[in-house]
Structures are given as C-alpha cells and as structure tokens.
C-alpha cells in the first residue's frame, strides 16, 4: 500500500472512531483537569445531560438517562452522601441459582416472588454517586431517553470521571 492510501485509511479510521461516542467519552474523560476548586454536578433532565464543574467552571459533560415515567428522578439541591465504586442495586436485578444461571431476569425484589432455590443478585451500578437515599449517578445503559428507575445513568468513562472528581458533601443540583 502506498503512502497516500495509508494516509486515507488512517483518516477514514479516525473519522469513524471520532464519531463513536464511546471513544470520545474515553478520550475526553481522561484529559487533565483545566480548573481547580470545589467540584459540583448539575444535571438537566430536560436536556438529558450532566455537567461537572470545578470552581464554577464547566470541566466535563455527559449524556445521561434519568428516571422514566412513574420513576422520576428527584429535582432539587442535594449533596453526595455515599460513593461506591462497585455498587449493586438492592431492589432491581435477577434471581439466580447457585450455579449462576438466571432463573428470572429484571426483577423488582419488593414485588417479584423469589423462585425456589434462587437468590437475588442486584443489578451492577458501577461508580455509584448517591445524592439522595436510593438515588444516584452511575454507569449504565443509555437508550437516548429517560429510561431508568430514578437514578441517573451515564457512559462508563464519564461515570468514572465524575466519580473520581467528587467527594462526600459535593453539591448535586438536579434541574427539571
């Protein structure tokens, strides 16, 4: 392959990868912080985006998926009350056998009966930042609309970035 075709192949690859939000999230979440100061998080439910601020300057943004109809994300001013890098839901998950085989998937442990000889395994919620009891920001699936049980889902790299930036007591503002 000559140099010109190698160049065009490289350009095509960069264009394809550049349009991939996962790659963009990975790159932008690993850039060095450009501002110092106290962190805060602002979430816009209408826009379905979260913003990380440091010292009043926006340093990062992320697509989100918030609570769907009937499971609305609470609106208001909160503080981070807990961080858990490997959190699992205590309510939503699967009933599994001892072998790990899923007997009943996507259950609400408060409503769905536990099949015999099974146990509840909570859904993984990595990089969980709890701002109100039972509500937090964490890594999760983003279908492009409000679809969660009330938490705020984020892409992996952004959830990790926000998790690493905040501490207990960090201000979290959820706007309609």
Q: What is the pLDDT of residue 4?
A: 54
Which tokens belong to 32?
Answer: 């060095």
If you average pLDDT over every residue of the chain, what do you get? 88
- Residue with the larger pLDDT of the pair 8 and 74: 74
Q: Please give the model's pTM, rounded to 2 decimal places.
A: 0.81
Helix (H, G, I), strand (E, B) or coil at 21: helix
Q: What is the pLDDT of residue 45?
A: 98
Q: What is the DSSP string of 64-130?
A: -B-B-TTSPPP-EEEE--EEEEEEEEEEEEEEE-TTS-EEEEEEETTTSPPPTT-EEEEEEEEEEEE
Q: What is the pLDDT of residue 15?
A: 46
Q: What is the pLDDT of residue 36?
A: 77
The pLDDT of residue 23 is above 70: no
């Amino acid at each position: 392959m000559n140099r010109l075709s190698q160049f065009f192949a490289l350009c095509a690859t960069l264009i394809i990868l550049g349009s991939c939000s996962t790659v963009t999230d990975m790159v932008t979440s690993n850039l060095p912080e450009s501002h110092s100061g106290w962190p805060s998080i602002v979430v816009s439910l209408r826009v379905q985006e979260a913003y990380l601020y440091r010292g009043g300057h926006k340093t990062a943004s992320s697509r989100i998926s918030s609570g769907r109809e009937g499971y609305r994300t609470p609106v208001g001013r909160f503080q981070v009350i807990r961080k858990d890098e490997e959190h699992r839901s205590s309510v939503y998950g699967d009933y599994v056998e001892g072998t790990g085989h899923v007997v009943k998937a996507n259950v609400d442990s408060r409503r769905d009966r536990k099949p015999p000889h099974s146990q509840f395994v909570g859904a993984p919620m990595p990089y969980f930042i709890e701002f109100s009891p039972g509500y937090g920001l964490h890594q999760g699936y983003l279908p492009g609309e409000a679809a969660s049980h009330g938490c705020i889902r984020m892409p992996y790299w952004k959830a990790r970035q926000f998790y690493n930036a905040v501490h207990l007591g960090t201000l979290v503002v959820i706007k309609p």
